[in-house]
């Protein structure tokens, strides 16, 4: 269980995290979603006490992380797989972490075997591939059999096999009743793993709901209507309260009206309809729609491509 | 590769029940593992011994085989300190060690992993400080004792007997190791404050070495007041057997060492404040 209340972080005159309040519950995977620069990493760093909040508080299992009797038994975190001394072997890296929490040495061998790094335990992590580095970070997170797990963008740069492995791992950890908090800037990734979503943009909370609620609330059903009498039908549907946009040369995208209503309006006015099809906006679109005002760095849209 | 079944930890031996809390003992073991498990710190310490003892031997040999002085004249000199001349270069390598012990945590990002495992920062810092102190002291004593005994061999060839029984010798030889440990601690303090390897080594070498060269270009009337306060000058009194303390231009052995350690303590206090307060 992670609970943040009014969490804020200011860097100079930039407010990276702004009055964020949320709770992350055990037994499910909670996705922490937001565009790049939204404040996800900063929030996770504040949970671990790496950064001090400008204001607000955050607790892990009821108390500030600094007060945890054995921190590695409370939280296992993978914030940055590169945050290791590359000159140290995988075994010694985990050993020096385990020792701080009085964890037995055999634990190091066991988690190395668990993540599939047993064969390279004595190798310096400098030579590890991205995926191996990620596995080493996960081994570190699992050392203390922690109640809470935090992963910051864990699938970045991984191959499909690695992505599948991490997804399954997170689900299994949550199924064991642990709290799993995982950040991503890709909605599609969360669609596959998360049960619950906390969405932020520019440091502010945008949504805190289940994945299904997020889909229902944010992905509007629209209907594509293909007709040779584009302007005529468009005007009529607008008059009937529909939201109308053109979609290419000969089609409309209509919201707020059902398919039968659209069909009836066309029939009553003797307008030919060549196609009538429902279009479900993807979660990715819903996410972009929701956070478009809060994306920090917009790419300029190339001329001529603008929708 | 590994597949994850329903229970992630199925194949693992359950952890023993946790009692008490993660404390200083574990932090000490962890910091010792960190020092001994990377090449940079191990090689730096090896280099300190090789350079410290090597330069000492070179200078003792040179003096003993080429000096025109008689045995009686030689015996008048501070041969104990002369035997340990390699400390002058060894201290610079100890600066590198003290710096690397903390700055590599920042250059590699390891500090964030370390503090996520033990968020009680003072526990981490004091454990690191204790291990750096102990290691640099032991290595420092190895350098000073080895230099001293090898030097005595050369003096003996000239008919001068120097031993631990020689006036002030034991204190000076132990002092040589202390002086080297002080150099590492000064750099450790600076490194904790600056979090940057090159900057830390530059500042450490400047304080112990460059500043003395610069002082030579000052008007001589200033030099008498300033010289004795320079870290290396104050600290070197503790590994000398002859002092000019009574003239007022130098400190005594322990008062000089106290001034020297004062610089290290100031650096450590600044470093501690930064370590405790600043975001990692």
A52 touches chain B (CB under 8 A): yes
Residue-wise pLDDT for A171-194, tens only, equals 999 999 999 999 998 888 888 899
Mean pLDDT computed over A222-237:
91
Residue A278 tokens, joined? 């429902």
Contact A145/B9, CB-based, under 8 Å?
yes
Q: Which of A80-84, B102-106, B273-277 has the lowest mean pLDDT?
A: A80-84
Please tell me the distance from the alpha carbon of residue A173 to that of residue A29, in angstroms, as a whole number.
8
Q: What is the pLDDT of residue A302?
A: 56
Residue-wise pLDDT for B19-41, tens only, equals 899 999 999 999 999 999 999 99
| A86 chain-B contacts, CB cut-off 8 A | 108
Q: What is the pLDDT of residue B14?
A: 85
Q: Which helix (H) or strand (E) holds B33?
A: helix B24-36
Contact B13/A101, CB-based, under 8 Å?
no
How far is the alpha carbon of B5 from chain A, nearest alpha carbon, in Å?
A: 7
Which alpha helices (H) appear in B67-168, and where do they start and end? Answer: 71-76, 79-83, 87-108, 110-117, 121-157
Residue B1 has pLDDT above 50, yes or no: no
Contact A100/B8, CB-based, under 8 Å?
no
Q: For A6-10, which contacts have Cβ atoms below 8 Å and span 24 or more sequence positions?
A: A6/A55, A6/A56, A6/A57, A7/A43, A7/A46, A7/A53, A7/A55, A7/A56, A7/A57, A7/A58, A8/A53, A8/A54, A8/A55, A8/A56, A8/A203, A9/A39, A9/A42, A9/A43, A9/A46, A9/A51, A9/A53, A9/A54, A9/A203, A10/A54
A20 touches A203 (CB < 8 A) = yes
Please tell me the distance from the alpha carbon of residue B113 to that of residue A139, in angstroms, as a whole number.
12
Q: At what angle do helices B197-205 and B169-194 cross, to 10 degrees?
A: 140
Give A156's pLDDT tier (boundaries 50, 70, 90). Answer: confident
Contact B119/A87, CB-based, under 8 Å?
no
Name the residue ranges covered by the structural domains of chain A: 2-210, 220-280
Q: What is the pLDDT of residue B18?
A: 85
Residue A248 has pLDDT above 90, yes or no: no
* Residue B168: partners with Cβ closer than 8 Å, 6 or more residues away: B80, B240, B241, B242, B253
Please tell me the distance from the alpha carbon of residue B227 to that of residue B212, in angstroms, as a whole number.
8
Q: What is the pLDDT of residue B230?
A: 95
Mean pLDDT computed over B247-263:
90
Cβ-Cβ pairs closer than 8 A, A with B, add up to: 150
Please tell me the distance from the alpha carbon of residue A270 to that of residue B262, in angstroms, as a whole number.
96
Residue-wise pLDDT for B110-119, tens only, equals 999 999 999 9
How far is the alpha carbon of A283 from chain B, nearest alpha carbon, in Å?
A: 28
Partner A, chain B 92-151, Cβ-Cβ below 8 Å: 104-105, 108-120, 124
CA angle B149, B154, B159 (to 5 degrees): 115
Give the other-Cβ count within 10 Å of B202's Cβ: 16
Which of B5, B108, B113 lies nearest to residue A140, judging by beta carbons? Answer: B113
Q: Which of A157-166, A236-245, B242-251 has the lowest mean pLDDT?
A: B242-251
**What separation, in Å, do the N-terminal and C-terminal C-alpha atoms of chain A show?**
43
Residue-wise pLDDT for B169-191, tens only, equals 999 999 999 999 999 999 999 99
Nearest CA in chain A to B111: A83
Contact A50/B116, CB-based, under 8 Å?
yes
A122 touches chain B (CB under 8 A): no
Residue-wise pLDDT for B59-101, tens only, equals 999 999 998 888 889 989 999 999 999 999 999 999 999 999 9
Topology of the domain covering A2-210: Rossmann fold (3.40.50)
What is the model's pTM?
0.87
CATH class label, A220-280: alpha beta
Q: What is the pLDDT of residue B2?
A: 44
Residue-wise pLDDT for B125-167, tens only, equals 999 999 999 999 999 999 999 999 999 999 999 999 999 999 9
Which of A70, A106, A169 lies nearest to residue B22, judging by beta carbons? Answer: A70
Residue B30 tokens, joined? 């962890």
Mean pLDDT computed over A245-262:
88
B80 touches B241 (CB < 8 A) = yes
ipTM entry: 0.91
Strand order in the sheet with A55-60: A14-24, A2-11, A55-60
A159 touches chain B (CB under 8 A): no
Contact A89/B37, CB-based, under 8 Å?
yes
Q: Which of A64-78, A171-185, A252-266, A278-292 has the lowest mean pLDDT?
A: A278-292
Which one is predicted more confidently, A78 or B225?
A: A78
Give A212's pLDDT tier (boundaries 50, 70, 90). Answer: confident
Contact B117/A72, CB-based, under 8 Å?
yes
B22 touches chain A (CB under 8 A): yes
**What separation, in Å, do the N-terminal and C-terminal C-alpha atoms of chain B show?**
34
Contact B115/A48, CB-based, under 8 Å?
yes
Q: What is the pLDDT of residue A46?
A: 97
* Residue B23: partners with Cβ closer than 8 Å, 6 or more residues away: B123
Residue B206 has pLDDT above 70, yes or no: yes
Residue B267 has pLDDT above 80, yes or no: yes
A33 touches A200 (CB < 8 A) = yes
Which alpha helices (H) appear in B158-252, and where do they start and end? Answer: 169-194, 197-205, 211-215, 220-226, 231-236
Contact B6/A175, CB-based, under 8 Å?
yes
Q: What is the pLDDT of residue B16?
A: 87
Contact A88/B37, CB-based, under 8 Å?
yes
Contact B18/A70, CB-based, under 8 Å?
yes
pLDDT above 90: percentage of residues in chain A: 68
Contact A142/B8, CB-based, under 8 Å?
yes
Burial class of residue A66, CB neighbours in 10 A (0-12, 13-18, 19+): middle
**Torsions phi, psi for A151 (to 5 deg):** -130, 125
* Residue A148: partners with Cβ closer than 8 Å, 6 or more residues away: A1, A2, A24, A26, A60, A61, A74, A75, A76, A178, A179, A180, A181
Which one is predicted more confidently, B6 or B21?
A: B21
Which of A65, A96, A99 lies nearest to residue B119, judging by beta carbons? Answer: A65
Give B221's pLDDT tier (boundaries 50, 70, 90). Answer: confident
State the sign of the Cα–Cα–Cα–Cα dihedral B223, B226, B230, B236: positive
Give A306's pLDDT tier (boundaries 50, 70, 90). Answer: very low
Q: What is the pLDDT of residue A304?
A: 46
Q: Which residue has the tokens 């059999």?
A: A145
For residue A225, list its beta bridge partners: A252, A276
B86 touches B52 (CB < 8 A) = yes
Q: Which of A155-164, A273-282, B253-262 has the lowest mean pLDDT?
A: A273-282
Mean pLDDT computed over A265-293:
81
Residue A115: closest CA among A91, A99, A132, A95:
A132
Mean pLDDT of the residues in chain A = 90
Residue-wise pLDDT for A68-106, tens only, equals 999 999 999 999 999 999 999 999 999 999 999 999 999
| A104 chain-B contacts, CB cut-off 8 A | 15-16
Q: How would you write chain A as a 3-class SS string?
A: CEEEEEEEEEECCEEEEEEEEEEECCCCEEEEECCCCCCHHHHHHHHCCCCCCCEEEEEECCECHHHCCCHHHHEEEECCCCCCCCCCEHHHHHHHHHHHCCCCHHHHHHHHHHCCCHHHCCCEHHHCCHHHHHHHHHHHHHCCCCCEEEEECCCCCCCHHHHHHHHHHHHHHHHCCCEEEEEECCHHHHHHHCCEEEEEECCEEEEEEEHHHHHHHHCCEEEEEECCCHHHHHHHHHHCCCEEEECCCCEEEEECCCHHHHHHHHHHCCCCCCEEEEEECCHHHHHHHHHCCCCCCCCCCCCCCCC
Nearest CA in chain B to A161: B1
């Amino acid at each position: 269980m992670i609970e943040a209340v009014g969490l804020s972080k200011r860097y100079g005159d930039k407010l990276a995290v702004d009055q964020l309040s949320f709770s992350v519950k055990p037994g499910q995977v909670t996705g922490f979603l937001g565009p790049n620069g939204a404040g996800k990493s900063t929030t996770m760093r504040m949970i671990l006490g790496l950064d001090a909040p400008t204001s607000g508080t955050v607790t892990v299992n009821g108390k500030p992380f600094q007060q945890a009797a054995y921190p590695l038994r409370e939280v296992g975190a993978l914030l940055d797989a590169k945050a290791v001394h590359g000159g140290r072997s995988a075994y010694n890296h985990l050993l020096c972490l385990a020792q701080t929490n009085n964890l037995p040495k055999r634990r190091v061998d066991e988690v190395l075997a668990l993540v599939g790094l047993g064969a390279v335990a004595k190798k310096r992590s400098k030579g590890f591939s991205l995926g191996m580095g990620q596995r080493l970070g996960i081994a570190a997170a699992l050392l203390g059999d922690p109640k809470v797990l935090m992963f910051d963008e864990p699938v970045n740069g991984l191959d499909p096999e690695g992505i599948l492995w991490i997804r399954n791992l997170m689900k299994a950890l949550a199924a064991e009743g642990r709290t799993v908090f995982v950040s991503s800037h890709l909605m599609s990734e969360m669609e596959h793993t998360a049960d619950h979503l906390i969405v932020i943009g520019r440091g502010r909370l945008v949504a805190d709901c289940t994945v299904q609620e997020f889909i229902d609330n944010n992905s509007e059903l629209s209907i594509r209507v293909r007709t040779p009498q584009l302007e005529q039908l468009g005007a009529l549907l607008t008059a009937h309260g529909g939201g109308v946009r053109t979609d290419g040369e000969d089609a409309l995208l209509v919201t707020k009206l059902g398919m039968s209503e659209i069909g009836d309006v066309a029939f009553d006015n003797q307008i030919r309809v060549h196609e009538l099809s429902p279009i479900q906006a993807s979660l990715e679109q819903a996410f972009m729609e929701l956070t478009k005002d809060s994306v920090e760095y917009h790419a300029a849209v190339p001329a001529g491509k603008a929708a | 590769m590994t597949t994850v079944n329903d229970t992630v930890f199925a194949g693992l031996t359950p952890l023993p029940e946790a009692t008490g809390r993660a404390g200083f003992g574990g932090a000490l073991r962890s910091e010792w593992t960190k020092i001994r498990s990377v090449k940079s710190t191990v090689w730096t310490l090896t280099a300190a011994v090789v350079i410290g003892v090597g330069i000492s031997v070179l200078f003792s040999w040179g003096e003993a085989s080429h000096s025109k002085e008689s045995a009686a004249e030689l015996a008048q000199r501070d041969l104990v300190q002369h035997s340990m001349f390699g400390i002058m270069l060894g201290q610079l390598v100890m600066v590198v060690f003290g710096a690397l012990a903390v700055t590599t945590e920042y250059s590699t990002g390891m500090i964030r992993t370390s503090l996520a495992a033990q968020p009680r920062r003072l526990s981490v810092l004091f454990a690191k400080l204790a291990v750096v102190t102990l290691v640099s002291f032991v290595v420092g004593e190895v350098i000073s004792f080895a230099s001293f005994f090898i030097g005595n061999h050369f003096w003996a060839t000239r008919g001068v007997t120097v031993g631990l029984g020689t006036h002030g010798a034991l204190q000076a030889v132990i002092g040589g190791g202390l002086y080297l440990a002080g150099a590492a601690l000064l750099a450790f303090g600076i490194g904790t404050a600056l979090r940057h390897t090159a900057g830390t080594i530059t500042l450490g070498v400047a304080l112990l070495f460059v500043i003395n060269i610069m002082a030579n270009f000052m008007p001589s009337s200033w030099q008498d007041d300033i010289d004795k306060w320079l870290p290396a000058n104050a600290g070197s009194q503790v590994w000398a057997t002859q002092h000019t303390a009574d003239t007022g231009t130098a400190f005594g052995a322990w008062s000089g060492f106290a001034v020297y350690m004062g610089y290290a303590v100031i650096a450590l206090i600044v470093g501690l404040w930064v370590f405790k307060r600043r975001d990692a």
